[in-house]
Each structure stands twice: as structure tokens, then as C-alpha cells.
Amino acid sequence: MISQKLRTGVAVAAITIGLGFSPAFAFDSTNWTWDLSRVDTMTSTSTASLTALPTGSATIESRQIYAGNPYAESDATATVTPTTLDGPTGLGHVESEALAYGNVHSGSSELPLTADIGQYHVGSINAASGATPSSVDPTVLNGSRAYADKLIVDSTSGLFTPHETSATANAQNVQDATAASLARAVSNSSSLELAYAPAEAVSVDALTGVADPSAGFVTNGVMVADVTQLSIGHVDSHANTGVSISSYENLGQLDRPIASASATSIGNLATVMARQGTLGTGL
């Protein structure tokens, strides 16, 4: 709603223009308000069906249990004696990399893929706790989830201690060289990839060349994955880089950083990818 004041101001402006006065005075002060109340309701239902005729199938069943404390450390240092003071050709390079992983799983297929993945990472077994391990019903529908719940109960009772997953990479006191340090600490990592050929219609009209969707398609582009990850603990990473360079020229022309440090800490990581193509050759 526009208030009456705004309408009045417009009317006055029209009159003053007719009298030959400057219309600017009519708008020296204009007050207006805008009130809006709106409710939108939208309901949408989408239904899709596909008749798929695969050429085969692949099934992955994986359970990974790690009780412990992964730790990785890398230390590097160097002093480079230059043969030339031209940065791009004379500078050396030092790399320090530390990787600490608990559970790692990677699976791929060119056929329809069904995967059931369970990854569990806890710390050490604390026998002194006197706690009794809990049990899992072997007939339970979702065994991966049930086992994760069991480990949570056992950790709460003190049977398992939290894990300490750590990675430290140092590249320090590096003289007359570029340096890079990379530290990565991961508790659980799972990767699934499906590569499949383009779908082909089962039935195509000989005259029009139009496919009949109701007859189905020959395709391997189907994936069903159930991934359960449990990490009870701490994940940390540290990367340190220290470089000293003197008397070198053309450092701006280097194809790499003079000093870089990258640290990545991940508790649970799961990636799933489906794409057209073949494994190992890309798209």
C-alpha cells in the first residue's frame, strides 16, 4: 500500500509544473510506507520410472575396524649450494609429506554397483576398565548401523579409549631452496566410483527413429550404496615450512611457491561418483 502522502506529492508536482514553477520543490520532502503481506503455497509431485536392463552386476561388502592411534611425522631440511643465482634454474626444492590414515576403502565398477561399507575407528582397548562388551543382534536389518551403536556404547562404558590420529610435516631451516610441507590425517575414508556406457533403448521405431521408453533401456548406470562411518577420537594435522633465500634473481618467474604448508584433518570422508565413460580413461 502507498500512503496518501505520496499521492498528494505527485498531485502537487503536476500543478506546479502547469504554473511554470520548478517541480523540485514538490519533492523536497517525501514520506512513504510500503506494507506487504504475502503467503505462497506450492505443492509439486514428480514421479519417474526406469526399466533398466543391465549387462551384469557387482557387489561390495566391506567392514573395516581399526583400534589404535595412527601417527605420521616427516622432517626435512636442506642447504643447497647454488651453481647459478637465477631462481628458476638454480634453486633446489624440498618436500616433506606425512599421511596418517585409520581405515581406507576404494571401490570401482563398470557394472551396476551395490555396496555396503562399514568403517569404525576407535582408540586402544582399555582392559583395565572392567567393562563388558555389548552385543549386536545378528538378525538386525542394518548391521553396519547396529555395530556403530555398539561401539558407541562400549566407548561410553570405557572399554575403548578415543583414538588420537595425527600427522606432522616439517620442512624447516631450508637454505637457498623452495620448500613444501603437507600433512594429512584421516580417520575413515571411503570412495566409490561407477563408470558406465551410455544407455541404449531396447526398442526404437524403424520409421521415426524414436525410442520407446516403456520397453526399457540397456544401461549399467545404477548404483546403490550404504556407507556407515564411525570415528570416536581426535584428528589433527600440522605442517610447518621455513625457508631462507638470499642473492637469487628472477624469483617472480618461479613455477612454484617459495614456501608452502598444507594441513588437512578429516574425521569421516565418503565420496560417491557415477559418470559415463570407462575406468582409467576418464570421460
Report yes or no on 155 lying in a domain: no
**pLDDT beyond 80 at 246:** yes
Task: Return the H-helix or E-strand segment holding 172.
Answer: strand 163-175
| Of 16 and 281, the one with more pLDDT | 281
- The answer to whether residues 175 and 254 belong to one domain is yes
- The answer to whether residues 115 and 174 belong to one domain is yes
Task: For residue 26, give every residue at least 6 positions away whose Cβ sits within 8 Å of its Cβ, in sequence order, or none.
Answer: 9, 12, 13, 16
Report yes or no on 21 lying in a domain: yes
User: pTM value?
Assistant: 0.74
Q: What is the DSSP letter of 281?
A: T
Report yes or no on 73 lying in a domain: yes
The predicted pLDDT at position 212 comes to 83
- The answer to whether residues 116 and 10 belong to one domain is no
- The answer to whether residues 80 and 7 belong to one domain is no
Provide the domain limits for residue 223: 54-124+161-276
Q: Is 38 left (phi over 0), alpha (psi -120 to 50) or beta?
A: beta
Report yes or no on 147 lying in a domain: no
Percentage of the chain beyond pLDDT 70 is 83
Report yes or no on 110 lying in a domain: yes
Which of 23-32, 71-80, 210-219, 238-247 is least confident?
23-32
- The answer to whether residues 206 and 271 belong to one domain is yes
Grid look-up 611457491 returns 257
- The answer to whether residues 32 and 65 belong to one domain is no
The predicted pLDDT at position 50 comes to 64
Report yes or no on 48 lying in a domain: no
- The answer to whether residues 168 and 30 belong to one domain is no
- The answer to whether residues 181 and 73 belong to one domain is yes
- The answer to whether residues 101 and 212 belong to one domain is yes
- The answer to whether residues 165 and 83 belong to one domain is yes
Domain count, the chain: 2
- The answer to whether residues 87 and 205 belong to one domain is yes
pLDDT, tens digit, 9 for 90 and up, residues 216-228: 888 898 899 999 9
Report yes or no on 132 lying in a domain: no
- The answer to whether residues 28 and 61 belong to one domain is no
Strands in 223-231's sheet, in edge-to-edge order, are 58-67, 113-122, 223-231
Grid look-up 618467474 returns 253
Report yes or no on 174 lying in a domain: yes
**pLDDT beyond 50 at 1:** no
